[in-house]
A and B are shown apart, each in its own frame.
Chain A
Amino acid sequence: MSRGAPSRRLSTGVREDAVARGADETEYTLSVLVENKPGVLSRVAGLFTRRNFNIDSLAVGETENPEYSRMTIVVEGNDKTVEQVKKQLNKVIPVIKVSDLTDDDSVDRELAMYKVSCDPETRGEIMQIAESFRANVVDMGAEAVVVEVTGDTEKVEAMEDMLRGFGIKETVRTGRISLARGEKTTDETGN
């Protein structure tokens, strides 16, 4: 067998492993099926701190089977670090399955509520904006309204941008939840 060029060497002659750690970071969406047991959330959250991984958001709830919960975790990283995140998650004993929905065709949603300052003049304008985002005004006071929006991150943030000019007094977001599209369940996506 003839040997080709060494596989992990940059043109400068050094191993590229070292360089990968600091490489550009983007968002990844992981869907993590776990046993619905006390302490699981802190095991998963603790892992991220312990391993110096960055969580953007984490949403968790029971699944169709009450013995399991599903977490949707949005994590910042690059392919190498996120590969480690997945492997380390898999080592947590009550973690049953880790699926990467990042490049998959998936439906992503989050819910956000904004308490926006208003006066009689701006109230109508805010309601119009809400309507155009198919958002709901769920509480109305003399000086503030609460707008509730559901959508993918882009939509939620676009609406937030529009509302900012009126003065956002308070914000709450659930963090992203994601499901693979089609008949296939997340557990079958083979990730």
Chain B
Amino acid sequence: MSKTREDGETTEEKEAPTTRRGAEALVEGLKQEGVDTMFGITGGAVMPVYDALYDDEDIDHIMMGHEQGAAHAAEAYHSVTGRPGVCLATSGPGATNLITGLADADMDSRSIIAVTGQVPTEMIGNDAFQETDMRGVSMPVTKHNYLVKDEDEVPDTVQEAFYVSNTGRPGPVVVDMPKDVSKNDTDAVRGELNIEGYSPNYEGHPRQVKKAAEAIEGADKPLIFAGGGAIMADAADEVRELANENRIPVTTSLQGLGGFPEDNDLSLGMLGMHGTGYANRAVTDCDLLIGIGVRFDDRATGKIESFAPSAEVIHVDIDPAEISKNIHADIPIVGDAKRVVGDINDEMASHASPDTEDWLDTLNDWREKYPMEYEQEDGELKPQYVIEELDDRTPDDTIVCTGVGQHQMWAAQWYEYNEPRTWISSGGLGTMGCGLPMTIGAKLAAPDKEVVCIDGDGSFLMTVQELATAVREELDFTLVIINNYYMGMVRQWQELFSDERYAESELPHLPEFDKIAEAFGAKGWRLTESENVGEVLEEALEYDGPSVIDAVIDPNENVFPMVPAGSGNDEFIMGKGTQGSRIS
């Protein structure tokens, strides 16, 4: 998460006010914020901004195939680097195409700045060509937004937009730039940052920290529940220390994957709808739940009534509105997760660690009772197998992006995440099509890292045009389509809860994805059986450029365990229909 900005950054600019156009002032502001990459598509209202970028040597602009892709790429850029991702679009359709990405960033708390063109100020309100009220349209899906009505406001607005976006709880911010504002001259420079109604709180209250330490000392069955907030705050080290030093088991939310190493014996993996049986039992039985950077989303909690029913709850979050929104916090601590968990660790020096060995034994019994498993007959190709094989061939710091659906859940379950900022996916909004553009953004943000995408056939097809972007930018990544010729997650729900009425979920006429890849100038493979999975994966990972593997899997495979929507987390269904804890 955001660090407090360093002071003094602005002073040198003040010394030499020069006259330049609003668009140039914008680009100058982006550079002052350290922007080196941006994603976008040009168009009438934003042409002056592109013109200002034309001669620029410092900012690498990536032309995307669709503005939604630009927003997702910017999201991934933030997830990988912790710095705001920047996207750019023209007014009207360009701007509205960003909305899905903005909503996605809003739900998953990613800092992105969307600069949009707008019709000239004197035409606003006249239904001018390509006019959309972007401020109005984006209001409910952004942290904040600006309509820049005067070129003199550009420097301050850019500064404020970045500050708001990436401090406190990160989120998307729109800067809407009317064409005349971009074209007119200004000699304004940024002044002192002053936003009266906005001052995020980073320090946890010492009294609350002390209470938390006391609760930890007194707990018999403590459990850490770490989320995306812990990763964004760069609190993974502190969480690990809290867990290791006090022998507290850890489960993560979907967006918390990588926030705690899954190869640690205290890791229970993910909880919630497709979490492990043992994590869901643990959260149901724990007597102290330590939520760190989580928002207790319904996919994680299941039925609220039976979520951690006997637990005292410590909730650490930077956003006060998350405290007791869904789950009452007995010990709320508003602050930056890194500092607060660090403080709790310090405080634990004067408290005894809880004795958790019995609790850990119980958890081990549950691990044995509810193992993660799948069956693969000879020759059959199962998604879990493909993902495990991919995991075996990629280093720990590999960045994994996904689409949305069954493949996303398998990617969460069967790839082992051991480092923060290695899992990039659409959690809150569940946006199909996010995978490929996020992969592009991630690779550009971390060119030296292995980047892979585990995508679905339906999801991939939603943003397939970004293959052209990947080929043009010569990006080296491997994308595996877990192809079941279905909107698989929908099919699973229809099978389990709708009497197998497969309404509009089958996709029998999909294109051959390996050929699609080749047509774009990428490299394609098709996998239909388990035999040569390793070989193909190695070739694809080896290939220097975008690799697309069409892995045609058993279409009937379902994601298990599963907590049916509206059920308690302890009512999970294991594979092959075995019930979870309730029958024990």
Contact = CB atoms under 8 A, between A and B. Distances in A.
Contact of A91 (B307, B311, B321): B321
Given A84-B321, A91-B321, A2 B218 contact: yes
Interface in B482-532: none
A84 B325 CA distance: 7
Contacts of A11: none
A97 B306 CA distance: 36
B582 to A, nearest CB: 14
Interface string A1-41: 11100111100011111111000000000000011000100
Contacts of B447: none
Interface in A94-129: 94-97
Nearest to B149: A38
Given A7-B312, A9-B309, A35 B326 contact: no
Interface residues of B, number: 40
A90 B139 contact: no
A134 interface: no
B197 A93 contact: yes
Contacts of A8: 313, 328, 330
Nearest to B135: A39
B8 interface: no
Contact of B311 (A6, A94, A95): A6
Nearest to A14: B305
A17 B326 contact: yes
Given A3-B218, A35-B197, A15 B305 contact: yes
A16 B310 contact: no
Interface string A40-80: 00110010001000000000000000000000000000001
A95 B321 CA distance: 15
B372 interface: no
Contacts of A1: 214-215, 217-218
Contacts of B219: 3
Contacts of A18: 303-305
Nearest to B352: A1
B534 interface: no
Contacts of B136: 42
Given A35-B197, A42-B136, A96-B196, A16 B328 contact: yes
Contact of A15 (B196, B218, B304): B304
With a 10 A CB-CB cut-off, give which of A1, A15, A20, A90 has the most chain B CB atoms.
A15
14 contacts: A6-B309, A13-B309, A15-B309, A17-B327, A17-B328, A39-B147, A42-B136, A43-B139, A83-B324, A84-B321, A84-B325, A93-B164, A93-B197, A94-B197
Interface of A: 1-3, 6-9, 13-20, 34-35, 39, 42-43, 46, 50, 80, 83-84, 87-88, 90-97
